[in-house]
Structure 1
Amino acid sequence: MKIHPQAKATDKPTQTARRGLVNGALLLSLAALIAKVLSAVYRIPLQNLVGNTGFYVYQQVYPLYGIAMTFALSGLPVFISKLIAEVTDPWRQRLVARRIFVILAGFGLCLFIGLFVGSHGIAAAMGDTGLTPLIQVVAGMALFLPFLAVGRGLAQGQFNMRPTAISQVLEQVVRVMVIIVVAWLAAHQHWNVYRMGAWAMSGALFGAVAALIVFGQTYRSLFRPLPATKPVATNDHWRTLMGRLWQEGGTICLFAAVVILLQLVDSFTVKRGLVASGLTDPAAKSLKGVYDRAQPLIQLGLVVATSFSATLLPALSVAWRQQRQQAIQMTLTMLIHISLALSAAATIGLVVLMPLINLVLFGSETGSLALAIYCLSIIFASLISTYNSILQSMNQYRLSLIALTAGLIVKGCFNYWAVYVWGINGASWLTVISLAAMMLILWLGSPTSMRTALTHGSFVRKLVGTVGTMGGLAGLASWLFQLWLPLTRGSAILMVAICVVIGMSVFVGLALWGQLFSMREWLTLPGGRRLLKLTKRN
């Protein structure tokens, strides 16, 4: 969730308004957290019910839906809310929202026609024409895009976060319920995997309809007749709005979907590369399904890494608006430190315990190395998200677009070759390298305050020591347990649970002992105040 400053930098919100802004941001962050967890967790029972090949069918087309969902859920609403917040006149707010709706409706219709008509060609480019009906179902999401994006953006721009929060959670709950029911029916009725995939994808349409119900009153108000006598400001002209939508809105949307865009490249290259390397078509589909197991793990890792740091963004926006340099630097440092520390801890934990986690969640240890490599991307993806959020709060978009383009070029140009040579391990490495390239460009091109925040004091050195010790002890505990217990799915659950507790305890203990976080940073983290009190007593 990104909170943008209003048009006048000199405006100072009242204490009540500021508190309402922060509470709204927290509500939206909580809703986003719930939606992301639901979006990640349902894939585990889905894979268990439909198997690797069924999971492959779903995941091949999922990036197309994921991009549309990201645009409608977090990308475009953020941009539209910024446009609305820049305008104080309710009449102008409605005018801007209506014009953006018309522009997006035209875009959504063109996108629907392109995806629906071109579905066979897209499926062929993915190496599997059986995916055609799934792509046609996903195309329907384009028609809901303007309704969901403008409804959420208008509410957020008026600092009413409740409709967006409710619609986010409702949409995901309905979608996940449909997918799980479809997967259960497919497993028990022995459906064809492509039939299962098409019906599972229809959950997105049911979810979108449920979310639209929340905005019924919003649209009744939006399309009331406007006074014809009022002049239209220059900033509200069609050409101006379309230009800003393309430049600012496009950058926000693309960066919100950065991981999904890399997954889209995988959809067009991994299965084809595996077949070219000598695998049979069924074997390549199954192995691609194994590779796709990384997606829920990455999502859960990113939720852990970014959810807490997101609560600091409203404070950063207020400090930036009031040009309080000391507060800006302090908040920047906290944002980056928390994001890096939590993502590093989540990454090392997943890498060390990956064979056990793979067995617990998916029933086999197949592809554990590829999944462990892929999990390294959590560190870079969380930092990219944090840096991009900060740059957007400063109204800087060009650097983000350059970084994103460079990363996609690296992934797009070399992924097929990497899969051909190294299999799914190569695809995992290309994802990590692409994100690392994006992060390097963002870091080199960002303001000095953002670069120094990452390397402030001895933070990185302390973090390496903390997560290294944590990973080493958790890995040692895992190895010892496997010496004593026969490795089954049941025993693996027990091992993972104990190792996670050991890892978390070591991380927190060393972070407190080594003063990894400042006092303010500890107070930002959930339970941080209580931990500080306990250490003072001891």
Structure 2
Amino acid sequence: MSKKESFIKGTLILAAAALIARVLGIAQKVPLEHMLGHAGNISFAIASNVYLMLLTVATAGIPSTLSKMVSERYALNKEEEAQRVYRAALLFGFATGAVITVLLYVFAPAYAALNRVPESVSAIRALAPALLMFPTIAMMRGYFQGRNMMAPGGVSQIVEQIVRVVAALGIAFALLQWGYSDQWVAAGASFGGVLGGIAALLVMIYYARKLKKADRQSRGKVARHSPPVPLRTIYADIFKISVPLIFTAITVQAVYTVDGTIGIRLLEPWHGYEQAMQAIDILSMRAQAVAGIPPILAIALSTSLLPVISAAFARGDQEHLNRQVTLAMRISIFTGMPIVLALSVAAYSVNGLLFSTQDGAAIVGMLTAGTIFQITMMVTNSILLGVSKPNAAMVHVIIGIAAKLAFSFILAPWLGVYGIIAATTLCFVIITLLNIRTLKKIVPFQILGNRWGGFAATVAVLAAVGGGVEWAGNLLVHLLPARVAFFFSSGLVGLAVLLLYPALLAALRLVTAEELNNYPAPLRKALKPFMRLQRSKSAMR
């Protein structure tokens, strides 16, 4: 297998693992929402958000940085130095995990008091031990990637999610049957993350032992001996590259953590504690779960486009870079919008189908509608990393999160929970616009150019058709059991949008036959049958 094929295969493994992990993470919230009340749901969401936030801070960017440092040293036959870098990273991972675990456990009551949900202390403390393992696991994944072995990281991520979800649901269900309160059921569900971490660590240890044995058996070349690299130098190299990556990776989780931390405090003076609890419960367990679906494609896109754009930028091939950046932005918008539209328009049916009550459909729909800007933010962040502008992406994220905080305080008294959601959308919009402004100085690309009018018309038509189908589908509630009716209604909306969307893209020349060959194979296959709707250039004159 060539290096290029190996790299592509590795990228696909990591992308597939990330997608599976994301889907399982979203799926976990649906049954838990049925088991728990408002306090339990918020407790679980708060614990998960603060855990994921701290985990991102402790690990984001470091595995890829470690991968780069290890691969460079093995390429130069400096195996001894590569091992020293790896050991230093493991030491850092263990120390970081220990410190964060202790801090989270000790300060759990203070954090629970800050977010006005004292019941969340148990859930936070139950999940804290997972942070002891995951920084070390992240270092091991980075090392394996540096050795061009993507399977260990991918397999461990999938095993972790499967064990976490099964354990969380199993423990929560058992505690519920035994008569425990919401506080302890949420804590039991949170503890599933610890068991998932143990499973992931065991997988990584298995692969590490296997690799160590293979290394002993295949020592042919004599590794070059070099003076030991000081730990200070190793850590300086790691942090120099990793810190900007942490900020770009943390954005969505930081926004959700902000909502869980200050949401009830913002809403309580205007709407009362119980109503504030209900609103944040719906936002954190329902809306965030559904809104996590559209960006899944963006995650895969971000993973795959970075090497291509990085290579074009490194070669100084401006024309190819322009084409790839334009293509990446168009694909992200074209693939994200139909999913966003279908879920937003059918929010009432989706909410009624998946969750315990029909309350909060507007909250689900509004947050999901804003995820199109989350997608563009994620993709432009990846592009900035690809053109060696990580510091710019970091600054833009800091500005966006500051704006999120400010707009939340301004809008929540007027609009309630919808003001908090509007602040989230504005955060993503601001980061996207700042990213695009910076990219325009490097690459004179156009996203849609003069096609924005056609795209707006496509969105309007789809929203109208989807809304009509949703209204008609909901009439089935009078003829069928509610969940069956919601199933058919949401399915019909999705089918209508996904069938009409490619036809409109072709008919309004948002995608032309000439451009189609540049699109990935799945998109080409989906759009090709609709190209006959496009009038030829001669017919248009």
- With the length of structure 2 as denominator, give the TM-score of the two structures: 0.88
Distance 1:95 1:270, change over 3 A: same
State the match for 2:63 in structure 1: 77
Q: Following TM superposition, by how much is the alpha carbon of 1:298 offset from its aligned partner in structure 2, in angstroms?
A: 1.6
SS in 2 for 1:454: coil
Pairwise mapping of residues 205-224 of structure 1 onto structure 2 (< 5 A)? 205-217=194-206, 219-220=208-209
Aligned equivalents of 1:189, 1:337: Cα separation in 2: 52
Q: Following TM superposition, by how much is the alpha carbon of 1:106 offset from its aligned partner in structure 2, in angstroms?
A: 2.4
Q: Per-residue displacement from partner, 1:70-101 (whole Å, max 9, x unpaired)?
A: 45776432232233233323332222222122
Distance 1:229 1:303, change over 3 A: closer
User: RMSD across aligned C-alpha pairs, in angstroms?
Assistant: 2.8
Of the three residues 150, 153, 166, the one matched with 2:142 is 153
Distance 1:229 1:28, change over 3 A: closer
Distance 1:256 1:344, change over 3 A: same
Q: Unaligned stretches of 5+ in structure 2?
A: 217-221, 534-541
Q: Following TM superposition, by how much is the alpha carbon of 1:297 offset from its aligned partner in structure 2, in angstroms?
A: 1.1
Q: Unaligned stretches of 5+ in structure 1?
A: 1-14
State the match for 1:23 in structure 2: 9
- Does the 8 Å CA contact 2:260/2:280 hold for their aligned counterparts? no
Of the three residues 297, 303, 320, the one matched with 2:313 is 320
Higher mean Cα deviation, 131-140 or 498-507? 131-140
Distance 1:484 1:364, change over 3 A: same
Of the three residues 519, 529, 534, the one matched with 1:534 is 529
State the match for 2:490 in structure 1: 496
Aligned equivalents of 1:420, 1:285: Cα separation in 2: 16
State the match for 2:504 in structure 1: 510
* Matched length: 519
Higher mean Cα deviation, 423-432 or 527-536? 527-536
Identity percentage over the alignment? 22
Distance 1:526 1:62, change over 3 A: farther
- Does the 8 Å CA contact 2:352/2:483 hold for their aligned counterparts? yes
Q: Which amino acid aligns with 2:320?
A: A
Higher mean Cα deviation, 194-203 or 510-519? 510-519
- 1:202 pairs with 2:191: yes
- Does the 8 Å CA contact 1:108/1:146 hold for their aligned counterparts? yes
Higher mean Cα deviation, 167-176 or 244-253? 244-253
Q: Per-residue displacement from partner, 1:377-433 (whole Å, max 9, x unpaired)?
A: 311211111111122223321111111111111222342453343221111111111
Q: Following TM superposition, by how much is the alpha carbon of 1:200 offset from its aligned partner in structure 2, in angstroms?
A: 0.9
Distance 1:442 1:204, change over 3 A: same
Q: Per-residue displacement from partner, 1:187-229 (whole Å, max 9, x unpaired)?
A: 4333211101111111111111111122215545679999996
State the match for 2:348 in structure 1: 355
Of the three residues 226, 250, 259, the one matched with 1:230 is 226
SS in 2 for 1:458: helix
Aligned equivalents of 2:166, 2:309: Cα separation in 1: 37
Pairwise mapping of residues 328-339 of structure 1 onto structure 2 (< 5 A)? 328-339=321-332
Q: Which amino acid aligns with 2:162?
A: V
Aligned equivalents of 1:74, 1:468: Cα separation in 2: 38
- 1:275 pairs with 2:268: yes
Distance 1:521 1:337, change over 3 A: farther
- Does the 8 Å CA contact 1:176/1:203 hold for their aligned counterparts? yes
- 1:429 pairs with 2:429: no
Of the three residues 115, 119, 128, the one matched with 1:130 is 119
Aligned equivalents of 1:350, 1:393: Cα separation in 2: 31
Aligned equivalents of 1:532, 1:131: Cα separation in 2: 48
State the match for 1:5 in structure 2: none
Pairwise mapping of residues 59-458 of structure 1 onto structure 2 (< 5 A)? 59-70=45-56, 75-87=61-73, 88=75, 89-217=78-206, 219-220=208-209, 230-232=226-228, 236-280=229-273, 282-292=274-284, 293-308=286-301, 310-448=303-441, 450=443, 452-455=445-448, 457-458=449-450
State the match for 2:465 in structure 1: 473
SS in 2 for 1:527: helix
- Does the 8 Å CA contact 2:79/2:224 hold for their aligned counterparts? no
Q: RCO (CA 8 Å, sep 6+): is it higher in 1 or 2?
A: 1
Distance 1:506 1:306, change over 3 A: farther
- Does the 8 Å CA contact 1:522/1:528 hold for their aligned counterparts? no
Aligned equivalents of 2:298, 2:290: Cα separation in 1: 12
